[in-house]
Structures are given as C-alpha cells and as structure tokens.
Structure 1
C-alpha cells in the first residue's frame, strides 16, 4: 500500500485522538475506507463523549519534531511496516523509528527480564543475545535497566531493536543514555508514542505488546511474578509466539517468574540450541486481513439502536455477533453502533470482535 501525504497526515491525526486505540483505529478505516473520510465523520461523534480532534498544528508539530530528530514514520499497511507486527490483531496504527528499520524485517527474538537483575542474569542475557545475533537473529528489548540493557549490549554488533514507552527521542532511563546513542547509530529505536512524549506507567503495556509483536519468540531471563516481563510473555502467547524461560534458583525472587512460566508450559531455555530447535518448524505469520464487519451498515445509526446495543454491554467482553443475534440486527449495524459507543467513551473495543462496557 502506498499512502498519499494527505492520508498519512490524517492517519497520524486520527491515531492521536482520545478514545481511539488500535482496535477503534482499524474499525474506523474499515467503516469509512480512509482516515480522511473518518476524520470528516468524527467531530460530531467525539463531541458527544467530550473529546476533540487534535489540532492540525499539533500534528504538524509532531511531524516537524520527527524530521528534526531524523526519525521515520511508518503506518500499518505500508510495505516497510514490520511483517510480524502487522500480523498482530490489531497492529499498532503507526511507528516512529530511528536507525536501521531493515532490522525489523529480519528474524527477531525478544530478550526481557528484571530491571534489578543479578550479575549472573545479566551475564546470561548478554551472552545469549550475542549468540542469537551471531546466529542471524535480531534481539528486541525495552532499553530498561538490568536484563534489557544487557541484551541490547550483547546484540549490538549484530543488530538490536529497542522499543520505548515514550517517544523515540525520550532517553529513558537516563543512565542508559550511552546505550541509546549506540543503538540509534547501529540498531533501531521504535515507539508508538508521539515525538517528545515522556514515558509514563500507562505506556509500558503498549511497549511490551510491540516487543512481543515484532518477535518470533520471547525469552524471559529473570522476572518477579508481578512484572512487565511476564506481561510481555503473556502477550507473546496471545499473539501465537513462543515463550522461553531461563530457569533459576527457587531461593531468588527474580527466578519465580521464569520458573512459573516453565510450569505453565514455556520452553526451557539454557542456550541458543533450545531456541533454534523451537524455531526449526516455525513459519512466519502473515495477516490475511480481517473481514470488514461494517459491510451493509447504514450511513446513520439511530440513537435508539445505539442505546439497545449499550444496554447489552457489561464489563465482561462479549462478541459482537452475539450482540447482533440477541437484538436481531445485522452485524454491520451492531459494529457501527459499537464504534459510536467507543468514540463516546461508553464501550471498549477489544481484539477478536469483542466489546465491553466502559466503567461510568
């Protein structure tokens, strides 16, 4: 797909609108056919939910900031968008990148783990990442302290990708500033966040989703039971990726995460051979493209229909085809009603055609 400059601008503006996440973004494109047409239809809908479109000046400022930083903007559906990430349901609408984007087209594997890591854990991550790189893999991680930093360092000579929670120009944590510079020069830095954005806690689940989405598998070296690394492992499993875990001493709390993953069926990883064995039969994922749920939907959805759909929602995710059956309505009408409820902040659209009520 080749996007015009106007459509690229519209997609960036659409992606930066409140209440529009990856699911809503893709459904808006399905509903209206382009971001430009979606933007024309949005003002009235988002005013009902108290939101507003970001100004043209705000979007122009983000693009200018990217140009000053030497960053590159790519959108889902474009030819250079990473194939593995494109297969995620749904993929991030856009990525800002710094450095060699071709690395993301090569076989990638994530190495993640504890920020406060043991010396032994960092040695394992660094050595394993070096072996993976020499075997032709690109190591993906999150540029955090501890295991992430060790993984990037080990893979730097052969290729590494750092996924950030803030913008690609946000050097976080500050004590990894030298490593950040080296990755920008020799590897690739990636983020879904706007240029200039500073990393906040809510950004890291999105970052972790990209780490696993870029990768054929995720290796967890050290992690406590409640940690971002285990969130990344869970996302990897949901995305159909392999999950590897490096076993550790039961006396070390940092080993509880990997050991629990092993109990749940993760692949034991003691070295490169374990990874190569698992990948020997793995095929690259390809996204066949989702069916358009809005086929046959009317241009305007009656307010009464929207309220009927809203009344059936609960905090428990419900398939939209189940809602359609319950109401005796076409799936396209229900999908359009859910989209309007999402834009008004009354419904959450989830992967797999699911929807849930947003808390009041």
Structure 2
C-alpha cells in the first residue's frame, strides 16, 4: 500500500513530479512491493535517490541499492518525456496524481506508474471487469458483447485486457453504445497487441482509456499478462467470467478479484462445453451465477449509490414470433449453434423451404449465421 499526498489535477503532466516515480519504475528488479517499502521508509521517491547506499541496504539488497544509485536510464527517460509531451491524450499517473485510482493504492503491490492513452477519469469510475476465453464459442462472444453493452448503458465502465475473444467482445459491446471502456495492457501502452486489434485500440484511445504499468516499448511477454490482471481486477467492483477452461488465465483474474475483496460473477454453460468448466468451478467456489446483466447490477447496487442509470430491460432483438414455421425453427434451434441439417431433421420442414425461412429470419435479426450453422439471437 502506498500513502502519499495527492497533487492537484493540473500537476498530472508535471514532469518534475513524475520523474522520481518514473525512475524507480525503470530500475531493473525493483518491483512495486520493494518500491512501496522504500517509499514507506524514506517518505518520497526523491529522498530515495539522495540516500546513501548503506541506508538503502537497510531496506533492499546491495545489488538493488547499487542499481538505484547508478542505473543508466537516461535514454528511457528522454523518450518517455517526449512521449508524454507528444499528445494531450498521453498521461503518466503516479500515486501523487489526483487521477491515480484510490483502489489501486490499497493493493499490496500497487503500480509505481500508470501510462495512459485516453480519458484518465474513467479509471476512477465504477467498473466491471470482463474476462474469458481467447477462443470462445459464438454464444460466449455474444454473451460478453451483449452483457457489456447493456452494463455500459447503465453507467458502468467495462474493463478488460484487449485480448482475442471475450476481451475484444467486451470492449466492442461498450464501444457500440458509446460507453466507457478501459483496456489494461500487458505490453507498453504504445504497443498494439494483438496486431489485428488495431481498430479496437484506436477506438478505445478516443472513447476510453488504454492503461499499462509497463515501460513504453515493452513487447508481449507471457509473464506480464498474469501481473496485469491484478490491475484489471483492482480497478473493478467485480469481475465477470464468460467461458473459461479449467486452465484458463481468466481464473487467475477471478482469484485475484476474490483476494482483493471484489465480486466474482460467472456465466454458466453447457456441461458438454469445456469452456464452461472454469465458470462452473467458480460458481461451486462461491461466484455469483449470472444469466442476465441485471443479476450483476443488482449485486453491485449497494456499492454504486445511484451511479447506475435507468436500465432498459427490452433487448432490441426480442420480439414475439407468430409464424408457426418460424416458431418451429426457433424451437428446433435451442440456444446453441445448430446446423441446417439438424434444424431440418428436428423441425420437419423441407430443406428448400427451410433455406428461405432461415434467410428471412437472419435478415430480420432473429438468428445469425455462424461457423457450423445458425444461432438464435432472441
């Protein structure tokens, strides 16, 4: 936990105030826990750099003390200063900045600095973390996007990690209704990863916030992603898991959320779907089973104190079917992806007639074509 005096908002881009924290964050091997101990001992990062090696060694190892006093990080500091001055959208938050999220200060290993592109104020708004499989089923992707859209409409910020699959669907759901969304990255904030998410990255930079504790230029490294999850869960009031295998990294996010005192929500699924097993495990361990966005909003309501806007319970795709043949098709489909042959066999509708009906229903937004067949939307 870091306890320091907060500076006015106007000081957020004040380089002299940022510099000592940034220098600490760039010392190899000097992680957030050791920085917290040093700040607790010396009172402020500036005093750390003027301390004697002997005094530093009373808190950290001689090797780290030597690194603090002699680290060659001049080029990194120069490039970072150029980056922060290059755009009004670029910010670096330290524990002294008024924009630094209070919730992160309570972590045992709070980020020493946060690099941000976009709207810093979103980091202090009520947030829901959404995580899950990188290779979700069409149903899982749809659930993540629809839940995120409806919860963003209610006023919460959707926070995720911009990974493939559920993360991307969550961000897209929030972006689709012009809601707030935060992407916590496991790379430098100036790196687009995965590269195919360039459009999502650019949209979040305008409509939301991209956040990282890692120095500019940091490339994807497997060990960075579990560590960034503590920030994702730390920023959030709760974390929603949509489709996760038993070995999924999403379960790490859920565990961190529980350890941080956050709510954990999980969407149940088919017992035949291996991506449901992680969610079912979480539910057995006490996660809140959710079937509708309202389940999450009701659970979080006591913490929000009026922050939730009026929720629209009527989904755009829900309408009453009256055509008997279309009703037969819907009944034959259930809620999983179903092939045309399966629909034909269960409904008894001739293939040629069925093809016309499926096309009409897709145009009407009742069903959607996916790899392997169709899925109902209402």
What TM-score results when the alignment is normalised by the length of structure 2? 0.71
Q: Map 1:184-263 to 2 at 5 A.
A: 184-263=205-284
Deviation at 1:225, TM superposition (A): 1.1
User: Of the candidates 79, 82, 106, which is equivalent to residue 61 of structure 1?
Assistant: 79
- Determine the structure 2 residue equivalent to 1:100: 119
With over 3 angstroms needed to count, the CA separation of the structure-2 counterparts of 1:42 and 1:99, relative to structure 1, is farther
User: Of the candidates 20, 25, 49, which is equivalent to residue 39 of structure 1?
Assistant: 49
Q: Map 1:3-82 to 2 at 5 A.
A: 5-41=15-51, 45=57, 48=63, 51=67, 53-68=71-86, 70-82=89-101
Cα distance in 2 between the residues matched to 1:198 and 1:97: 17
With over 3 angstroms needed to count, the CA separation of the structure-2 counterparts of 1:59 and 1:34, relative to structure 1, is same
Cα distance in 2 between the residues matched to 1:266 and 1:163: 23
Per-residue CA deviations over 1:307-332 (Å, capped at 9, x if unaligned) read: xxxxxxxxxxxxxxxxxxxxxxxxxx
Q: Map 1:78-227 to 2 at 5 A.
A: 78-156=97-175, 157-227=178-248
Q: Map 1:258-269 to 2 at 5 A.
A: 258-269=279-290
With over 3 angstroms needed to count, the CA separation of the structure-2 counterparts of 1:143 and 1:137, relative to structure 1, is same
The number of residue pairs the alignment matches comes to 284
Per-residue CA deviations over 1:250-270 (Å, capped at 9, x if unaligned) read: 211111111100010000111
Cα distance in 1 between the residues matched to 2:295 and 2:72: 48
Contact 1:13/1:54 (CA < 8 Å) preserved in 2? no
Contact 2:115/2:212 (CA < 8 Å) preserved in 1? yes
Contact 2:129/2:238 (CA < 8 Å) preserved in 1? yes
Q: Which blocks of at least 5 consecutive residues in structure 2 are unaligned? A: 1-5, 306-378
With over 3 angstroms needed to count, the CA separation of the structure-2 counterparts of 1:48 and 1:21, relative to structure 1, is closer
Cα distance in 2 between the residues matched to 1:237 and 1:273: 21
Deviation at 1:7, TM superposition (A): 4.1
Deviation at 1:67, TM superposition (A): 3.0
Per-residue CA deviations over 1:150-180 (Å, capped at 9, x if unaligned) read: 0000001111101110111110001111111
Deviation at 1:40, TM superposition (A): 2.5
Which one has more relative contact order, counting CA pairs under 8 Å at least 6 apart? 1
Deviation at 1:274, TM superposition (A): 1.0
Tell me whether 1:277 sits opposite 2:301 in the alignment. no
Cα distance in 1 between the residues matched to 2:39 and 2:72: 18
Q: Counterpart of 1:175 in 2: which secondary structure?
A: helix
Deviation at 1:80, TM superposition (A): 1.1
Cα distance in 2 between the residues matched to 1:85 and 1:218: 15
Deviation at 1:241, TM superposition (A): 0.2
Cα distance in 2 between the residues matched to 1:242 and 1:175: 31
Deviation at 1:53, TM superposition (A): 2.3
Q: Counterpart of 1:206 in 2: which secondary structure?
A: helix
Structure with bigger gyration radius: 2
Q: Counterpart of 1:281 in 2: which secondary structure?
A: helix
Cα distance in 1 between the residues matched to 2:160 and 2:63: 40
Q: Which blocks of at least 5 consecutive residues in structure 1 are unaligned? A: 285-360
- Determine the structure 2 residue equivalent to 1:326: none
Which structure 1 residue ranges, 4+ long, deviate > 4 Å from structure 2?
A: 42-47, 49-52
Per-residue CA deviations over 1:287-319 (Å, capped at 9, x if unaligned) read: xxxxxxxxxxxxxxxxxxxxxxxxxxxxxxxxx
Instruction: Give the superposed CA RMSD.
Output: 1.9
Deviation at 1:283, TM superposition (A): 6.8
Cα distance in 2 between the residues matched to 1:224 and 1:270: 19
